[in-house]
Amino acid sequence: MASWWGRESHKGTPVVVKMENPNWSIVEVESPSDDDFIIGAESPPGRARDKGRGKNAKQLTWVLLLKAHKAAGCLTSIGSALVNIVTVVKRRLASGRTDADADADNDNADGGVRENPTVKTRFYLFIKVFLWLSVLLLGFELAAYYKGWHFEAPHLQLDYLWTTPFGVKDVFDWFYSKWVLIRVAYFAPPLQFLANVCIVLFLIQTLDRLILCLGCFWIRFKKIKPVPKVAAMDLESGETGYFPMVLVQIPMCNEKEVYQQSIAAVCNLDWPKDKLLIQVLDDSDDSITQLLIKEEVHKWQQLDAKIEYRHRVIREGYKAGNLKSAMNCSSVKDYEFVAIFDADFQPASDFLKRTVPHFKDNEELGLVQARWSFVNKDENLLTRLQNINLAFHFEVEQQVNGVFLNFFGFNGTAGVWRIKALEEAGGWLERTTVEDMDIAVRAHLHGWKFIFLNDVECQCELPESYEAYRKQQHRWHSGPMQLFRLCLPDIVRSKIGISKKFNLIFLFFLLRKLILPFYSFTLFCIILPMTMFVPEAELPAWVVCYIPATMSFLNILPAPKFFPFIVPYLLFENTMSVTKFNAMVSGLFQLGSAYEWVVTKKSGRSSEGDLSLMVEKKKMNSEKSVSANNLEEIELIQKQDKKLPRKKHNRIYMKELALAFLLLTASARSLLSAQGIHFYFLLFQGISFLLVGLDLIGEQVV
**pLDDT tens per residue, range 343-380:** 999 999 999 999 999 999 999 999 999 999 999 999 99
pLDDT band at 241 (very low <50, low <70, confident <90, very high): confident
Contact 573, 520 (CB under 8 A): yes
- Of 50-54, 273-277, 495-499, 500-504, give the lowest mean pLDDT range: 50-54
- The more confidently predicted of residues 61 and 561 is 561
The per-residue pLDDT for 57 is 65
pTM of the model: 0.80
- Over residues 229-239, the mean pLDDT reads 55
CATH superfamily placement of domain 225-231+242-464: Spore Coat Polysaccharide Biosynthesis Protein SpsA; Chain A (3.90.550.10)
Asked whether residue 265 carries a pLDDT value surpassing 90, the answer given is: yes
Nearest residue to 194 via CA among 653, 541, 682, 528: 528
The per-residue pLDDT for 636 is 57
pLDDT band at 76 (very low <50, low <70, confident <90, very high): low
Which SS3 state, helix, strand or coil, does residue 444 take?
helix
How far is 56 from 31, CA to CA, in rounded Å? 11
The per-residue pLDDT for 144 is 74
Contact 462, 381 (CB under 8 A): no
What CA–CA distances, in Å, run from 492 to 144, 198, 457, 497, 502? Answer: 56, 27, 35, 10, 10
Asked whether residue 165 carries a pLDDT value surpassing 80, the answer given is: no
Asked whether residue 37 carries a pLDDT value surpassing 50, the answer given is: no
Give the contacts of 40 (CB within 8 A, at least 6 positions apart): 5, 6, 7, 16
The per-residue pLDDT for 155 is 41
Indicate which residues carry an active-site annotation: 283, 436
Asked whether residue 125 carries a pLDDT value surpassing 90, the answer given is: no
How far is 614 from 397, CA to CA, in rounded Å? 36
How far is 269 from 238, CA to CA, in rounded Å? 14
- The more confidently predicted of residues 642 and 422 is 422
The per-residue pLDDT for 295 is 92
Asked whether residue 245 carries a pLDDT value surpassing 60, the answer given is: yes
- Of 41-55, 463-477, 539-553, 563-577, give the lowest mean pLDDT range: 41-55
pLDDT band at 638 (very low <50, low <70, confident <90, very high): low
- Over residues 391-411, the mean pLDDT reads 96
pLDDT in tens, 185-230: 999 999 999 999 999 999 999 999 999 999 999 999 999 999 987 7
- Of 18-27, 318-327, 491-500, 591-600, give the lowest mean pLDDT range: 18-27
Alpha helices, DSSP H, located in 375-465: 381-392, 399-405, 419-424, 435-445
The per-residue pLDDT for 255 is 86
Contact 371, 415 (CB under 8 A): no
Domain extents in the chain = 94-104+114-139+195-224+475-600+650-701, 225-231+242-464
Asked whether residue 640 carries a pLDDT value surpassing 70, the answer given is: no
What CA–CA distances, in Å, run from 317 to 110, 284, 430, 438, 439? Answer: 14, 14, 5, 14, 14
pLDDT band at 461 (very low <50, low <70, confident <90, very high): very high
The per-residue pLDDT for 669 is 87
Contact 474, 593 (CB under 8 A): yes
Contact 430, 318 (CB under 8 A): yes
- Over residues 96-111, the mean pLDDT reads 52
pLDDT band at 78 (very low <50, low <70, confident <90, very high): low
pLDDT band at 589 (very low <50, low <70, confident <90, very high): confident
Nearest residue to 466 via CA among 702, 692, 689: 692
Indicate if the alpha-carbon torsion angle 98, 100, 106, 112 is positive or negative: positive
The per-residue pLDDT for 302 is 93
Strands 365-374 and 449-460: parallel
Q: What is the 3-state secondary structure (H, E, C) of 245-264?
A: CEEEEEEECCCCCCHHHHHH
- The more confidently predicted of residues 627 and 13 is 627
What CA–CA distances, in Å, run from 248 to 268, 532, 641? Answer: 12, 56, 32
Asked whether residue 605 carries a pLDDT value surpassing 70, the answer given is: no
pLDDT in tens, 268-314: 999 999 999 999 999 988 888 899 999 999 999 999 999 999 998 88
- The more confidently predicted of residues 137 and 281 is 281
